[in-house]
Amino acid sequence: MPTTTGMKGRGYYDAHSKEQRAAMDAFLPWIEEAIVDLPIPPDRQTSFVILDIGSAEGRNAIYAMNRLTNKLRCVSELPICVLFNDLPTNDFNRLFANLFPDGTAALSDANIFPGAIGGTAFDSLVPPRSLHIATTFNAIGFLETKPNTRLPHYILPMGPGPLASRDGVIVTESERAPFRLQAENDLYQFYTARAEELVNGGKLLVQIFGRDDNFSTNYGIYDVLSDAILDYVEKGILPRKVYEELIFPIYFRTVDELITPIEKDERLARAFRVEKAESREVSAPFNVTLAETGDQTIWARSYTGFLRAFTEAILASALPIDLRQPDTLDNIYQQVEKRLVADPARYEFHYISVGALLTRV
């Protein structure tokens, strides 16, 4: 079973995902430039097919697909089928509302046909040899399956950041190892599924939150959530076992880890050519606003909204049934915001965006 239940819905994720768009923008030009090399569908296949994997509520995904379909129109006038995917528990109502705001189509060309697919990124989503372009943004760092192990002294397998030390908060290498192995297997399954789905010459753009030699995207942001939860544990508001059993099953990859499955597996090496792969630090909009205004209160509020959008579902599922009311979650994220205002240096955030452009051969 998938390890997450989707992002925070009812428009919340859309409203707090400017940072994800900045990370997407770092690599969207790669796939836009590659469109000129796409094979024109044969007579028996009368349209181009694009699949975006992990579309959430759709605001960012529709933005990206509009950019790609506009470029594709420079190549061909054929109809374009644009498919949006996420877990079955995703807020697809919001996705469809975003596709047809005010009753008009958000995708800019009349000859574009959108659709949605519920399913996991690590399995087949469309028929074999039917895709011309596949994209995924900020999605496949979430593990398909949570390893059957514990992280009793932190909430994330990557471990705490270097600026946020706290007594007893640690992840050992042996504790991290099962998550690293799961992340490797997930990528293998993801690439295998895409290899089956893409036509020869088709393009795959993969972008994830990750890490480089200097920073990891988890630094600061998971530390402040960890601290807020521990604050409530120490006050007796939450039982200690909530913290000990809470795991965010997420792995932050390096650029080498992103392409290792293709280099190590003979079938994937024959299926894909790696055109480009690199990591880039992108400017998170809330950090830009802080630099421009110096307003730590606004910064903390935006930072907290960004964090809550993709962590609340996992946190809520880890709480005892009698504590799953909205007030408990609100209080935890209010404590996050208070900590950010009080000590912004402790929770310094760097968004490392890692990407690869692959061609099906």
Walk along the chain (361 residues) and give the pLDDT tens digit of each residue: 445 567 887 899 999 999 999 999 999 999 999 999 999 887 777 899 999 999 999 999 999 999 999 999 999 999 999 999 999 999 999 999 999 998 899 998 889 999 999 999 999 999 999 999 999 999 999 999 999 999 999 999 999 999 999 999 999 999 999 999 999 999 999 999 999 999 999 999 999 999 999 999 999 999 999 999 999 999 999 999 999 999 999 999 999 999 999 999 999 999 999 999 999 999 999 999 999 999 999 999 999 999 999 999 999 999 988 877 779 999 999 999 999 999 999 999 999 999 999 999 9
50 Cβ contact partners less than 8 Å away, ≥ 6 residues apart: 65, 68, 69, 72, 80, 81, 82, 83, 131, 132, 133, 134, 135
**7 inside domain:** no
Largest alpha-carbon pair distance within the chain? Answer: 68
Write down the pLDDT at residue 1. Answer: 45
pTM of this prediction? 0.95
Instruction: Evaluate whether residue 41 is within a structural domain.
Output: yes
pLDDT at res. 127: 97
CB 162 within 8 A of CB 211: no
Predicted confidence at residue 232, as pLDDT, reads 96
Pairing of strands 198-209, 351-360: antiparallel
Q: Could you give the number of structural domains in the chain?
A: 1
CATH number at residue 33: 3.40.50.150
Q: 336 CB contacts (<8 Å, ≥6 apart)?
A: 224, 225, 228, 304, 307, 308
In a domain, 339, yes or no: yes
Q: How far apart are the first and last CA of the chain?
A: 31
Q: How far apart are CA 158 and CA 221, in angstroms?
A: 12
**122/104 Cα distance (integer angstroms):** 33
- Residue 54, by phi and psi: left (phi above 0), alpha (psi -120 to 50) or beta? left
Domain presence at residue 311: yes
Hey, which residues does 205 pair with through a beta bridge? 135, 357
In a domain, 100, yes or no: yes
In a domain, residue 237? The reply is: yes
Report which of 94, 107, 26 is spatially closest to residue 63, judged by C-alpha positions: 107
Token pair 């996705």 is found at 95
User: Could you tell me if 114 and 49 are in contact, meaning their C-beta atoms sit under 8 angstroms apart?
Assistant: no
CB contact at 8 A, 346 and 277: no
Instruction: Give Cα 251 to chain centroid, integer Å.
Output: 11
Which residues have a Cβ under 8 Å from the Cβ of 260 and sit 6 or more positions away? Answer: 184, 187
Q: What residues are paired with 209 via a beta bridge?
A: 353
Judging by beta carbons within 10 Å of its beta carbon (0-12, 13-18, 19+), is residue 322 exposed, middle or buried?
exposed
Range of the structural domain that residue 316 is part of = 12-360
